Amino acid sequence: MTVPYTHVVFLSGMLFLLGMLCLIIRRNLIMMLLGLEVMLNAAAIAFVGASLHIGQLTGQAMTLFILAVAATEVAVGLALAVCIYRRTGTVDPACIEGDQCSL
Amino acid sequence: MNLHAVLFYLVSALIIGATAMAVTRRHMVHAVLFLVISFFGSALLFYLLGAPLLAALEVIVYAGAIMVLFLFVVMMMRIEPSDDFQEPIRKRLAAGGVGFLFLMLCALIVSRAGDAARMPMQARMVEPAAFGYFLFDSMWTADEIASLLLLVALVGVLHLGIGRGRRRTAGEEDG
């Protein structure tokens, strides 16, 4: 016997909230991508917990898919961040468009 | 409360603490290292929830590949650690409002959950071989889509890399 399913969902929700706050609060493209990773990881935890809860393997297969999506997203996102940094010299999303940078 | 439950709550506290530390660090290298701890905790959690293959993949792909990629980029850019939190009070209010709404939604869902979700789950372990058979037997479309996605990402990143070099030489000519 392990823990109830609601506790797994609650842990996943807290992690998702932390990732979302990181995405909203930070002004740095790389930290925003880190927030996205945290959110994807939270979804993966919820899927594995649901897979144990309903007793089927589909949730674990979905987690494998999430892993592939996370790898793809981080590769393309970091390539874009490096590209933006080379062209504008900053990773602040507020400074990329024009020269009205507040920093 | 048995060993499974004690381990689950310990690992959950570790994951949430490490992630909270990661998203509030000013220095990006520290943030990445805290997130590596968090992903190791997630791998332990996957093992507790009966998915040993996914636990191994979490360590290899998340903590190994993705975080090292982050570390490479952070070290390549040489960005000074600065106070990069959103200054306007509107953004902080928006973040607080979103967090409050989200917590309320979480509490609502957990309180409305049925009795089946409140009972402790039976501990089960899926052998990696059984999972592999399931994956390539009835989930092969998802595998093909994932491989296609990785190929598209490879082509896209390659295009970005080549295009960046061209634009940079053009920019140097302009300057």
Q: Is B114 helix (H, G, I), strand (E, B) or coil?
A: coil
> Cα–Cα distance between A65 and B11 in angstroms, integer?
24
SS3 at position A1 = coil
Q: B166 to chain A nearest CA, in Å?
A: 11
Q: What is the pLDDT of residues B43-56, one digit of tens each?
A: 999 999 888 999 99
pTM: 0.87
Locus of tokens 């740095």:
A28
For residue range B101-147, list pLDDT tens digits in order. 888 888 888 787 777 777 777 777 888 898 889 989 888 888 899 99
How far are the Cα atoms of B66, B109, B131 from residue A44, in angstroms, in the given order? 15, 18, 16
Nearest to A2 among B48, B77, B161 (CB): B48
- Taking contacts as CB-CB distances below 8 angstroms, the residues of chain A near B4 are 1-3
Residues 68-97, chain B, touching A (beta carbon < 8 A):
69-70, 73-74, 76-77, 79, 82, 84-87, 91-92, 94-95
DSSP string, B7-50: HHHHHHHHHHHHHHHHHH-SSHHHHHHHHHHHHHHHHHHHHHTT
| CB nearest B106 (choices: A5, A8, A10) | A10
User: Looking at chain A, which residue has its C-alpha nearest residue B20?
Assistant: A18
Asked if this assembly's ipTM is beyond 0.85, the reply is yes
Q: Could you tell me which chain B residue has the CA closest to the CA of A42? A: B42
In a 3-state reduction of DSSP, which class is residue B120? strand
Distance from CA of A3 to the nearest CA of B (A): 5
User: Given CB atoms, is B13 within the 8 Å cutoff of chain A?
Assistant: no
